[in-house]
Structure formats: structure tokens, C-alpha cells
């Protein structure tokens, strides 16, 4: 166990030295006493880093003499005795002048003496005259082969420069300038520490160059805001205010990807309490139990399903005209044309497409934006103007995507264009997201968190934008409330033995209060049931009816289309299952049961379930002729 610990300590120390983390290495070595191998490493480390005072303190103590003599013999090939080494250290410590040090004490490594001189300046004067240090670096450190020697010098020097107010001296102005040499040394050193300090020095130089008119005439960065997602509620007010509050302050161009329809009611949404999501915690408390989605589902099943559907209306020509006036470029697609089965897939797709809409504009005018903001179109955005400067200083590989308890991917992200192009491309990798580290690829928080790290996108905090999606929002003020009168009546009947009359009256009153907060829903709307994946005009059409209708329609064209429909509908019937008991407008569904289309669809689903028993053959040669005879006898309506 002791040997194992020594090996682990040695490996750990070498790792930290490779990271140029010399403050930590000093602490660790300071706690190491009589351990032959690590003690030898400690003496060598103090020597190479020019920490001669610490080294001298060890050398003059009798209890360490055996180890010190052994180390000196190994280090100097037995040329220098302990007494002479102690005298050399004392003389160096008493005469800390760079020229004198380099011209004398030739037995001692030049790099070690330069590090001692640097330590002396920092510890005694607290400052360094860079003009005097540069020549010493060029003549000694730059050509030194020992990484501990040059790494220690470079890291301490850059740490000092970081704290300096006047950093302009680091801008190289002539060939073989100190900064050029410093960058060369780190560039060709393959260690984590070299990369880390290379980035620090690069950023210091960039900060100097980025000051107005010091390098090039200052040009304000170009910013694009890519809005995505479905237009909801009072979408025009939301767009207008976000552009006024954010786009105008950043002088940003705006782009939009959305669908060719607007959402009048967005379903109950995420979270546990739908009232709190759409209003606030105080109002949710006033409304009581019906705000809890689990309670609502368990006790008001029909009402729940009616409210947890999306209510849609096609955008009119005048709507599209209004939209266009706010954006440089827009794209509106038809949702039904895409095979996107979940809202999260649409979320990924919208993010990707909104960036593509911006790129189309870039290609048209032959330029590129410097920074991109990708945001949902249905949120209220607040700009923190004091952080605009920090936004403009973000690197091309950085984004800001807020961390939350289950990842990132919060719907409002911004950063350098290059990083944002990677970020928005998640949709393109949907089929490739797999393996044991993917828990659920339709969890946007998990996927964006892991995807960003995998793609080497650096996430930094810049407090530029705050978004509001919960509670009272601009879009929320324009929602229309579905007519739940019939559904509520059906649910109340089942609750009479479960709750008291007083409780039931309280529930009804709560629904009434919520309903009055919104405009009434028109009957002429399209409804998307999230639980079945079916779309209808204010009622849910049974799957059997849909399949039957498609088969009848295809059979009128040719047997090829009929065969093609059989294959398609086999997949369709497997993918989508419907339980009429849990479907809204249950009374309406009963009307379909006696239709010819429903009977054909039902027989087809049964044939599909028994395909291995010749179900399809029986369906074509037995069931269809029988159903046709019954139809001819007017037993069914089409």
C-alpha cells in the first residue's frame, strides 16, 4: 500500500507539473519529508525552479544530509561537494543581480539562476521591468530544454502580466520580439500547461488589439437573431416587443422559421401545474387542485384530454404580410409534410432551420454575421445592456446556454457564429445519437448538454439575455380557451361518489375563473391530439376510419396504390394506437362506428395483427367482397 501511494503521488505531481500548476506543486512538495524518491524529486524541483532559499534550508539541516549528498552527487556527477554547494547557494542569494548571476556560478544551471532572479523580483519588489526580463528570456530560457525550467519562468511571467494595468508592451512590434518567441516556445511544447498559458497570452493580446482604434478602425459586430417555433397567442405583440427591446439595441437583423399555422391554445404544457405555467403561483394557489396535471388527469379525464390538445389555425395572407415586415428572411413550412412525431423533434428542427434561413440571407448578400442569437419566438426577452460589451468579447467557439438541473438547451442561446452553427446542427445528428450515454434523445436538455461538450463548444456565462416563458407572457395574453362544457359535464357525473357537492362546485367555479381569463375558442379550428398523434377539426377521428378511408381512396386508382397503402398502413396501425375511452368528443366517435370506412379499417387492422395466419390474403379475397356486398345492400354509409 505504501509503495502504491508513493507511485500515485509521483504520477500526480508529474501531472500537475505538466499542467504548469506550480502553486499546487509547491504546496505538495512542502509537505514531503524523508521519502527517498520523492525527496530527491523535491530537491531537483527546487533547484530547477530557482527556489534556492528553500533548497538552502534543507541542505544545512543535518537530518537531510544523507539525502542531499546523494542528490548532489547524482545531479552534478560528484563534481561538487555539499559544502561547496551550500557556499554557492549563499553567494547567489546574497547577490541577486541578473548579469552577475549569469557571468558567475557557472556550476549552477543558467535557467535555474534566471528563475531565482525572477522569484527574487516578484517576492521582494513585487514587480518586473519587462524590458530587462525580455533579453534574459531570449538568451537563456527560450533555448532551454528542461520543461520545468522554462515552464516555471513562462507561467510566473504571464501570471504577472495578467495583473498589470498596462499590457500593451506584450504586443510584438519587431521580428524576434519577446512575445513571438514566447508564443513559439509554448506552441511547440506538447503539454496541457503550454496550451493553457498560450490561450491566456493570446487573449491578453486580443484584448489589447480589440480596444477601439488601436489595431483597426472599430466596426460594430454584426448580430443575427434567429427566431424559431410555432406562433402562439398574441405572437405579433411578442415579436414587436422583442425586436424593440433586443434587436434594436444590438442593431441586429432578425430571421424566422415557423409553421404555416398559429397556435390558439398550446395544450397544458410542461411542468406539474398548468395554471402556474400560464399565470403565476398566487393564481395557481387560488385555483387549487385542478391546476395539478396529475389530479386533472385522474379525475377529469375528458377535460384533461380536451385541454391537453393543441388548437391551430392556418395563417392568413394578411398574417404572413405582418410577419414579413419584422424579418429579413422567413420560412413557413407545413407541419403535416414532415415526419416529426414529437414537439422536441420540432424544437430541434426549428433551431436548425432558423439558422439555415439566416445563412440563405448571408449567401444572397455575400457576408457573414459575427454573433448569432437563437431563441424561441414565444418568449419574452429582456436585454441586460450592461453586458453587451461582454457579448461582443465572446470567442468564436463560445456560446451561452444556461445550465439547469437537467442539462442545458433552454431555448435562448447565443454566441459566436461558428459555435452557433455547430450548436444548431443537433437535428442533423438525430439518427446518429445512440449508445449507453444517451438516456433519451428527445430530452433537449440532456442532448444539448452532451452534444455541446462532444462538439467542443465552450459554454460560458454572459448575463446578456433573460427570458420569460412561465407565468404571464405576451403570447399567453392572446390564447383562446377550448370549450370544455360537454367534457366537464361527463367528468362531473363520475365524481359524484368521489367528492362532496361542495368540492365539485368548487372545481366548477375554478374552471369558470380560468375560462374567463381567455377569449373563447372558435369551433372552426384544427385540433392536434398529442396523445394519439391525430389531427382533426375539433374532434378525433378513429384510426380505423382513417385507414379505411385511405384504402378505399387508393383502391380507386390501381392495385399498385392499394398494395402500397397496405404496407404504409401496416406501419401506421402499429405506430398509432387509440383508446376511444380516453378521447375527447366520445359521442362524436360513435357516429363513425357504423360507417363503411370504419368497418374496412377495422378489418384491415385485424388482418395486420394476424398477417402470419394469412390475414392479408383473407382481407383481400374474403373480407373486402363481404363488406362490399353489405355496402351495396345499404347496410353502411361511406
pLDDT in tens, 179-196: 999 999 999 999 999 999
- Does the pLDDT value for residue 572 go beyond 50? no
- Does the pLDDT value for residue 212 go beyond 70? no
In a domain, 490, yes or no: no
CATH of residue 422: 3.90.550
- Tell me, yes or no, whether 144 and 228 share the same domain: no
- Tell me, yes or no, whether 205 and 65 share the same domain: yes
In this structure, the strands spanning 380-383 and 465-468 are antiparallel
Comparing 116 with 626, the larger pLDDT belongs to: 116
CB distance 486 to 305 below 8 Å:
no
In a domain, 409, yes or no: yes
In a domain, 179, yes or no: yes
Quick: pLDDT tens for 49-100.
999 999 999 999 988 888 899 899 988 887 889 999 999 999 999 888 877 7
Domain boundary among 476, 501, 525: 476
- Chain-centroid distance of CA 511 in Å reads 38
> In the structure, what pLDDT confidence band is assigned to residue 177 with cuts at 50, 70 and 90?
confident
Residue 409 DSSP symbol: -
- Tell me, yes or no, whether 235 and 129 share the same domain: no
In a domain, 529, yes or no: no
Task: Give how many domains the chain has, as a whole number.
Answer: 3
Strands laid side by side in the 534-536 sheet:
231-232, 261-266, 309-314, 526-529, 534-536
Cα–Cα distance for residue pair 600/304, rounded to 1 Å: 31
Nearest to 626 by CA among 595, 592, 596, 591: 596
In a domain, 194, yes or no: yes
- Does the pLDDT value for residue 303 go beyond 60? yes
- Show Cβ contacts of residue 499 under 8 Å, excluding neighbours closer than 6 positions: 507
- Tell me, yes or no, whether 107 and 238 share the same domain: no
- Tell me, yes or no, whether 199 and 234 share the same domain: no
Residue 418 phi, psi dihedral angles, 5° rounding: -60, -45
Residue 289 DSSP symbol: G
How much is the pLDDT for 221? 93
- Tell me, yes or no, whether 206 and 228 share the same domain: no
- Does the pLDDT value for residue 462 go beyond 70? yes
Nearest to 197 by CA among 167, 161, 173: 161
C-beta neighbour count of 552 within 10 angstroms: 17
Cα–Cα distance for residue pair 385/391, rounded to 1 Å: 10
How much is the pLDDT for 130? 80
Comparing 152 with 172, the larger pLDDT belongs to: 152
- Does the pLDDT value for residue 240 go beyond 70? yes
Of the candidate ranges 1-5, 35-39, 43-47, 403-407, the one whose mean pLDDT is the lowest: 1-5
What is the residue-averaged pLDDT of the chain?
85
How much is the pLDDT for 225? 98
How much is the pLDDT for 586? 45
How much is the pLDDT for 1? 42
- Tell me, yes or no, whether 206 and 227 share the same domain: no
Domain boundary among 451, 476, 501: 476
Give the end-to-end CA distance of the chain in Å, rounded to a whole number: 84
CB distance 33 to 39 below 8 Å:
yes
- Tell me, yes or no, whether 139 and 245 share the same domain: no
Looking at 64-146, list the stretches that DSSP marks H as alpha helix, in order from N- to C-terminal side: 65-75, 82-94, 98-103, 110-120, 130-139
How much is the pLDDT for 554? 59
Average pLDDT over residues 425-454: 89
Q: 3-class DSSP state for residue 165?
A: coil
- Does the pLDDT value for residue 205 go beyond 70? yes
Query: Which residue shows C-alpha cell 385522474?
Result: 298
- Does the pLDDT value for residue 6 go beyond 70? no
Q: For residue 161, what is its C-alpha cell?
A: 502580466
Of the candidate ranges 125-129, 254-258, 304-308, 381-385, the one whose mean pLDDT is the lowest: 125-129
For residues 255-291, one letter each, b for 16 or more C-beta atoms within 10 angstroms of the residue's C-beta and e for the rest, the string is bbbbbbbbbbbbbbeeeebbbbbbbeeebbeebeebb
- Does the pLDDT value for residue 380 go beyond 70? yes
CB distance 369 to 354 below 8 Å:
no
Average pLDDT over residues 556-573: 50
How much is the pLDDT for 593? 62
- Count, in order, helices (H) and strands (E) of the chain: 31, 16
- Chain-centroid distance of CA 219 in Å reads 29
In a domain, 511, yes or no: no
CB distance 36 to 63 below 8 Å:
no
- Tell me, yes or no, whether 196 and 235 share the same domain: no
In a domain, 371, yes or no: yes
Most confident range, picked from 272-276, 424-428, 615-619? 424-428
Comparing 591 with 65, the larger pLDDT belongs to: 65
Sign of CA dihedral 259, 262, 268, 272: positive
How much is the pLDDT for 504? 93
In a domain, 96, yes or no: yes
Quick: pLDDT tens for 325-365.
999 999 999 988 888 878 889 999 999 999 999 999 999 99
List, in sequence order, every beta strand (DSSP E) within 482-540.
519-520, 526-529, 534-536
- Burial class of residue 427 in the structure, from the number of CB atoms within 10 Å of its CB (0-12 exposed, 13-18 middle, 19+ buried): middle
How much is the pLDDT for 577? 44
How much is the pLDDT for 442? 84
Average pLDDT over residues 273-298: 89
- Burial class of residue 147 in the structure, from the number of CB atoms within 10 Å of its CB (0-12 exposed, 13-18 middle, 19+ buried): middle
> In the structure, what pLDDT confidence band is assigned to residue 531 with cuts at 50, 70 and 90?
low
- Tell me, yes or no, whether 133 and 243 share the same domain: no
Q: For residue 148, what is its C-alpha cell?
A: 520545468
Q: Which domain holds residue 26?
A: 2-210
- Does the pLDDT value for residue 538 go beyond 50? no
- Does the pLDDT value for residue 597 go beyond 80? no
How much is the pLDDT for 118? 92
> In the structure, what pLDDT confidence band is assigned to residue 295 with cuts at 50, 70 and 90?
very high
The shares of helix, strand and coil residues in the chain, as percent rounded to the nearest 5, are: 60, 10, 30
- Does the pLDDT value for residue 570 go beyond 70? no
- Does the pLDDT value for residue 584 go beyond 90? no
- Does the pLDDT value for residue 410 go beyond 70? yes
pTM exceeds 0.85, yes or no: no
Query: Which residue shows C-alpha cell 561547496?
Result: 84
> In the structure, what pLDDT confidence band is assigned to residue 543 with cuts at 50, 70 and 90?
low
Q: Residues 28, 30, 34, CA angle at the centre, nearest 5°? A: 100
- Show Cβ contacts of residue 361 under 8 Å, excluding neighbours closer than 6 positions: 253, 255, 328, 329
- Tell me, yes or no, whether 373 and 460 share the same domain: yes
Domain boundary among 476, 510, 525: 476
Total number of residues shown for the chain: 638
- Show Cβ contacts of residue 148 under 8 Å, excluding neighbours closer than 6 positions: 17, 45, 48, 49
- Tell me, yes or no, whether 327 and 456 share the same domain: yes
> In the structure, what pLDDT confidence band is assigned to residue 535 with cuts at 50, 70 and 90?
low
Amino acid at each position: 500500500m505504501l509503495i502504491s501511494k508513493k507511485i500515485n503521488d509521483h504520477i500526480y505531481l508529474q501531472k500537475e507539473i505538466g499542467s504548469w500548476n506550480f502553486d499546487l506543486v509547491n504546496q505538495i512538495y512542502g509537505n514531503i519529508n524523508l521519502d527517498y524518491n520523492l525527496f530527491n524529486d523535491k530537491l531537483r524541483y527546487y533547484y530547477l525552479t530557482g527556489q534556492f532559499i528553500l533548497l538552502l534550508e534543507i541542505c544545512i539541516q543535518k537530518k537531510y544530509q544523507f539525502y542531499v549528498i546523494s542528490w548532489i552527487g547524482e545531479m552534478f556527477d560528484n563534481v561538487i561537494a555539499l559544502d561547496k554547494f551550500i557556499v554557492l547557494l549563499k553567494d547567489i542569494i546574497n547577490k541577486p543581480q541578473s548579469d552577475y548571476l549569469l557571468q558567475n556560478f557557472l556550476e549552477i544551471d543558467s535557467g535555474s539562476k534566471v528563475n531565482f532572479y525572477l522569484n527574487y523580483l516578484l517576492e521582494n519588489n513585487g514587480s518586473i521591468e519587462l524590458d530587462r526580463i525580455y533579453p534574459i528570456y531570449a538568451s537563456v530560457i527560450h533555448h532551454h530544454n528542461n520543461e520545468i525550467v522554462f515552464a516555471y519562468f513562462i507561467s510566473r511571467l504571464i501570471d504577472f502580466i495578467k495583473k498589470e494595468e498596462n499590457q500593451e508592451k506584450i504586443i510584438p512590434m519587431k521580428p524576434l520580439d519577446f512575445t513571438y518567441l514566447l508564443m513559439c516556445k509554448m506552441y511547440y511544447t506538447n503539454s496541457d500547461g503550454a496550451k493553457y498559458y498560450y490561450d491566456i497570452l493570446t487573449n491578453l493580446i486580443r484584448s489589447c488589439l480589440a480596444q477601439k482604434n488601436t489595431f483597426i478602425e472599430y466596426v460594430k459586430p454584426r448580430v443575427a437573431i434567429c427566431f424559431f417555433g410555432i406562433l402562439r397567442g398574441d405572437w405579433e405583440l411578442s415579436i414587436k416587443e422583442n425586436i424593440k427591446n433586443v434587436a434594436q439595441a444590438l442593431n441586429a437583423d432578425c430571421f424566422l422559421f415557423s409553421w404555416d399555422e398559429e397556435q390558439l391554445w398550446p395544450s397544458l404544457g410542461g411542468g406539474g401545474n398548468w395554471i402556474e405555467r400560464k399565470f403565476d403561483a398566487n393564481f395557481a394557489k387560488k385555483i387549487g387542485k385542478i391546476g395539478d396535471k396529475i389530479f386533472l388527469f385522474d379525475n377529469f379525464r375528458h377535460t384533461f384530454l380536451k385541454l391537453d390538445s393543441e388548437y391551430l389555425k392556418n395563417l392568413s395572407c394578411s398574417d404572413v404580410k405582418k410577419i414579413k415586415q419584422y424579418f429579413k428572411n422567413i420560412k413557413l413550412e407545413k407541419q403535416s409534410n414532415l415526419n416529426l412525431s414529437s414537439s422536441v423533434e420540432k424544437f430541434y428542427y426549428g433551431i436548425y432551420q432558423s439558422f439555415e434561413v439566416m445563412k440563405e440571407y448571408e449567401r444572397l448578400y455575400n457576408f457573414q454575421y459575427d454573433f448569432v442569437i437563437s431563441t424561441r419566438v414565444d418568449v419574452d426577452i429582456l436585454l441586460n445592456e450592461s453586458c453587451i460589451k461582454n457579448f461582443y468579447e465572446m470567442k468564436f467557439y463560445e456560446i451561452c446556454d444556461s445550465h439547469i438541473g437537467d442539462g442545458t438547451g433552454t431555448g435562448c442561446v447565443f454566441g459566436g457564429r461558428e459555435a452557433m452553427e455547430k450548436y444548431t446542427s443537433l437535428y442533423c445528428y438525430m439518427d446518429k445519437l445512440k449508445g449507453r450515454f444517451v438516456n433519451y434523445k428527445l430530452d433537449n436538455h440532456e442532448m444539448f448538454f452532451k452534444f455541446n461538450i462532444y462538439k467542443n463548444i465552450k459554454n460560458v456565462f454572459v448575463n446578456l439575455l433573460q427570458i420569460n416563458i412561465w407565468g404571464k407572457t405576451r403570447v399567453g395574453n392572446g390564447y383562446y380557451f377550448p370549450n370544455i362544457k360537454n367534457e366537464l359535464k361527463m367528468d362531473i357525473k363520475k365524481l359524484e361518489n368521489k367528492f362532496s357537492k361542495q368540492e365539485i362546485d368548487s372545481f366548477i367555479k375554478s374552471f369558470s375563473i380560468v375560462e374567463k381569463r381567455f377569449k373563447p375558442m372558435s369551433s372552426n379550428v384544427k385540433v392536434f391530439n398529442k396523445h394519439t398523434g391525430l389531427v382533426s377539426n375539433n374532434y378525433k377521428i378513429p384510426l380505423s376510419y382513417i385507414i379505411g378511408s385511405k384504402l378505399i381512396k387508393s383502391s380507386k386508382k390501381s392495385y399498385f396504390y392499394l398494395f402500397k397503402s397496405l404496407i404504409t398502413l401496416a406501419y401506421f396501425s402499429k405506430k398509432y394506437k387509440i383508446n376511444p375511452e380516453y378521447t375527447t368528443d366520445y359521442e362524436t366517435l360513435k357516429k363513425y362506428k357504423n360507417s363503411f370506412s370504419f368497418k374496412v379499417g377495422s378489418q384491415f387492422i385485424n388482418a395486420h395483427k394476424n398477417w402470419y395466419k394469412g390475414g392479408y390474403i383473407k382481407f383481400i379475397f374474403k373480407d373486402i367482397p363481404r363488406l362490399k356486398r353489405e355496402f351495396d345492400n345499404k347496410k353502411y354509409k361511406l
